A and B are shown apart, each in its own frame.
Chain A
Amino acid sequence: MKNYPVGRRNLLRSALFGSGALAMNSLFPAWAKTGTHGLASKDRTVLSGESLALTIARKDFQLDGRVGHAVTANGTLPAPLIRLKEGQRFRMAVTNHLNEDTSIHWHGLLVPPAMDGVPGISFPGIRPGETFVYDFPVRQSGTYWYHSHSGLQEQQGHYGPIVIDPAGADPVPYEREHVIVLSDWSFLHPHEIVGLLKKQGGFFNRGKQALTSPNRVSSQTNKSFAQMRMDPTDISDVSAAAYTFLMNGHSPDENWTGLFHAGERVRLRLINASAMSIYNFRIPGLPLTIVSVDGQNVRPVETDEFQISPAETYDMIVTPAGEQAYTIVAESIDRTGMARGTLAPRMGMSAAIPPLRERPTLKMVDMGMGGGSGHQMGGHNMGAMATKPEASMPHGSGHAGHDTPELPEKAPDAASHGGGMGHSMRDPKIAGFELNPGVDMISPMPADRTGYPGLGLENVGHRVLTYRDLEAATPNVDTRPPERQLDIHLTGNMERFMWSFDGKKLSENPDPIRFARNERVRVKLINDTMMTHPIHLHGHFFEIVNGKPPARQPKKHTLTVQPGGTASFDLTADEPGDWAFHCHLLLHMHAGMMRVVTVRPLEGEA
């Protein structure tokens, strides 16, 4: 599993069969088959201006010699880049050429609720053959994206990037920019993927612990997990067994390449438009200066790697030097594959592709057993903290330092007091809601994990960004202390592939979460599962409670909550209307991990 799987195999194949394989393909080119929808293009088209149009239609999508069925906008995958200017009016006529309903949600854009594009919440959806005109003023700038909110079309290619230039000068200087859309493509229909997961929760996990596994977890850990009927290798629900990870619609072999001139400041606008894939992003040899997150500028902060969840966007400046190529690596969180591209001074150049790193496994902290040694020290053992404050902080030399606090297996003795008290892993008193079959675990001691770099990134030998490193570039306007706190538990059942908030699927709990207009509320997300969940609120930006002063808490539209941990955001509910609130892992949302949020009174009512 350590080898880069796609490149080598395909190299071998072309070496063995070479022109023969090509000849076979040319006998039956996909576009010449009868009944074809025509091939989706991977060429980037750009839509700019006030009056735009998109047509949603089925197309065949060709990848590494195979052809699958895609849902595309204007015949491309990803959908065209929409480039706008802050302050302009946006009119987009969307025509549906599918035989099912479709929709477009403008992800991260502040829009009137009727324009947000979620069927059943914002509008009725776009019927086959219909044209729906979205029309709203553009109130912001930054990197965003758009995607279908109907069925599981997002998994089939219905997503594209949005770049909005600021009305004035861009505070981030750069000479060149590239938009990088990460996604995950499968030749399986998304409904088939859901079905397989419902029938066997770990279906796509081909890295389960076996007697002969090279990276066995300790037998004690294995025992603890087995006792709970949990799997320490359960990192991603859908792995490379089903997905090819794409960069701008290109497979790793197709090697999407962005060009630069040596010494230029290149702005990369990175969007994770995946259905289910969390990536760890890096460009070996190039430091990444993060300048914007979810379209909101942050104080520039330099790092070498960061985790990006579906729905998130990160803008960064890189300054490649010399006549050399750099490999852009987006490794899936479970390390079963990667999306890969190249930054190069000329086409045709490439750099070494780093092998996939060893697969991470879950640890006790991922079950909500507190924040690791740091947690024990800081949270429950003040005495120890005071007397030996550095005891659990073995600063790695030259490392990002994130490798210390979350590794209870490596620092089990930092605060070994009071051991032996059993933790209930499913305590209804901690939950505060009914523990139904859809809830297989309640984190007994969930700790804030906004300082955690992500599974497998604790000890990678270079800097890794965390949410705690982010600071708003310009001070937040509303710095009122929150008046109240709302706790929302992220719940699930791995075996049955059930996902919910507070133990209830949306289908069981259609009542909204209600906010009063302009109220200031802290929402604490408590992850009672061992999966990483990116939670997205439509129509708003909130501020992550990450240890920065209120005026500098970074604004986001999506907050990743680490396994067994918590993360909080402060929200000013200033966008009246009805909004979707959900896990942006598409199949988790589909399984029910979603609520409706209402903000009242509406415009004109107050």
Chain B
Amino acid sequence: MRVFLATSIALALSSTGHAQQMDPAKDGHHMDHGGMAMPGGNPPSDPPMPMDHSMHAGDSMPPSSDPAPMDHSMHSGHAMPSPSAGKGNGAAAPSGHGMAGGHMHHGPVPGDPPHKPVDGRALTGPAHAADLSYDPAVMAKARANMIREHGEMTFAKVMLDRLETKIVDGKDGYAWEGDLWTGNDIDKLWIKSEGEGSFDAAPEQVEVQALWSHAIGPWFDVQLGARHDFRPNPDRTYGVVGVRGLLPYWLEVDGALFLSQKGDVTARGEVEYDLRITPKLILQPRAEVNLAAQNVPEIGVGAGLTQAELGLRLRYHVTQQFAPYVGVQWESAFGRTRRYLRAEGEDPSRAAVVLGLRAWF
């Protein structure tokens, strides 16, 4: 179980910061760039690759299309017969030009000047020109403000992912899952809460997490913090190490390891996907697995796969931020957890129709 979880976290991590491979041929766009090793975007520090003039498209073009002499910029050579913006058929010319021109810029072809360090003269003079015209102290304040205003902002979001009624045979209940974050692009305070219960009894599960969420890649955050379960009884506190984010193909995932104050280790993984039927009607499959490294009889958890949920929810976006839904959910306990439940007279597997609301602001 731990292996499974570790693998899934590792999987998530591995897709966060590193290069994705993309095969254009599979996409029907066959790119022949075998002749040039990644010509695009040479790093500024790289010296220009020596490249023969003959690599230039212009030289391979029919000579008639190349009326002007090559100059340093290597562009004028491609002036096609019609200098004007595509007049009728003549306009086709710029396209040819565009094609030849296309490759000229994505690599250090002859004509592109070298990447050189900044001229020493550029380093002379005052650090801030405006300090010569205005009070430097006032400018310093304005500058700090300008720097902050261009990139450093904090925001907050409240997300009620699921607030639902579960219609189960004979024992209707409710469940919620939501979070709140506040922070900047990279670091956020992230509060999560989820819980469930039956209308005719005390809540079965009430959980709150307070996490520091830190972006570790374009699509992933690592989340560290604490979790407290007010239910089931007895309540428990855990340390949390988690990862949440977006896998390729838009799979939203959230996985975490929990270490309780008693030393027991559990884990949870969730994955969901939004399938747009229309822009407003979205079908969301969702799966969750819960795992434990050991038996924790006090709270009815057995080692191994403890519980899993599969859900399918169809929501309608009344607005972008407000979407009621209907769905079905199946959940089941496994292994020793299942036996604990049975012993309490509970049904270890149940299916429910859910009616709920998803909203954020």
Contacts and interface: CB of A to CB of B under 8 A. Distances in A.
Contact of A303 (B60, B85, B215): B85
B102 A451 contact: yes
Interface string B91-119: 11111111111111110000011111011
A114 B48 CA distance: 38
Interface stretch (B6-14, B135-143, B191-199, B254-262): B135-143
Contacts of A243: none
Interface string A412-429: 110111111111111111
Interface in B1-41: 17-36, 38-41
A445 B28 contact: no
Contacts of B120: 516
Interface in B180-233: 185-186, 215-219
Interface in B247-276: 248-250, 275-276
B30 A547 contact: no
Interface string B124-138: 111011101111001
Nearest to B75: A547
A62 to B, nearest CB: 25
B115 A484 contact: yes
A196 B252 CA distance: 19
A579 to B, nearest CB: 9
A495 B102 contact: no
A585 to B, nearest CB: 13
Interface in A401-451: 401-406, 408-409, 412-413, 415-433, 435, 437-440, 442-451
Given A301-B85, A371-B103, 9 more contacts: A376-B33, A395-B95, A402-B98, A422-B22, A438-B218, A445-B39, A448-B103, A451-B94, A545-B73
Contacts of B168: none
Contact of B38 (A430, A437, A496): A430
Contact of B35 (A124, A195, A213, A380): A380
Interface stretch (A41-49, A160-168, A203-211, A323-331): A203-211
Nearest to A210: B276
29 contacts: A119-B142, A121-B130, A151-B149, A371-B102, A377-B99, A380-B103, A400-B91, A401-B91, A401-B95, A405-B99, A418-B33, A419-B25, A425-B20, A428-B19, A431-B43, A451-B98, A451-B101, A466-B94, A484-B115, A485-B114, A487-B44, A506-B151, A514-B118, A547-B75, A549-B79, A576-B129, A591-B150, A602-B126, A605-B124
Contacts of B86: 303, 400-402, 463-465, 469
B55 interface: yes
A434 B151 CA distance: 17
Interface stretch (A76-84, A258-266, A271-279, A517-525): A517-525
A3 B41 CA distance: 41
A46 B21 CA distance: 57
Interface of B: 17-36, 38-46, 54-55, 57, 60-62, 68, 71-73, 75-76, 78-79, 83-106, 112-116, 118-126, 128-130, 132-135, 138-139, 141-153, 155, 157, 185-186, 215-219, 246, 248-250, 275-279, 281, 320, 360
Interface string A340-382: 0000000000000000000000001000111111111111111
A379 B46 contact: no
A221 interface: yes
Given A229-B248, A445-B33, A600-B121, A405 B102 contact: yes
Given A405-B98, A605-B125, A424 B218 contact: no
Nearest to A367: B22
Contact of A393 (B96, B125, B152): B96
Nearest to B119: A516
Given A229-B248, A566-B106, A401 B23 contact: no
B250 A226 contact: yes
Contacts of A119: 142, 145-146
Interface in A61-99: none
A584 to B, nearest CB: 13
B143 A120 contact: yes
A547 B79 contact: yes
B250 to A, nearest CB: 6
A576 B40 CA distance: 32
Nearest to B72: A481
A487 B75 contact: no
Nearest to A408: B29
A10 interface: no
Contacts of B36: 379-380
B99 A392 contact: yes
Nearest to B86: A400
A200 interface: yes
A226 B249 contact: yes
Contacts of B38: 427, 429-430, 444-445
A447 B105 CA distance: 6
A392 B96 CA distance: 9
Nearest to B109: A379
Contact of A409 (B22, B28, B152): B28
A475 interface: no
B32 A395 contact: no
B271 to A, nearest CB: 15
A159 interface: no
A379 B186 contact: no
Contacts of A546: 75
A290 interface: yes
A598 B125 CA distance: 10
A212 B281 CA distance: 10
Nearest to A452: B98
A423 B23 contact: yes
B276 A211 contact: yes
Contacts of A409: 28-29
A174 interface: no
Contacts of A221: 27-28
B19 A496 contact: no
Contacts of A142: none
A226 B248 contact: yes
Given A439-B218, A466-B94, A548 B151 contact: no
Contacts of B71: 549-550
A203 B317 CA distance: 12
Contacts of B155: 194-195, 198-199
Contacts of B320: 200, 203
B125 to A, nearest CB: 4
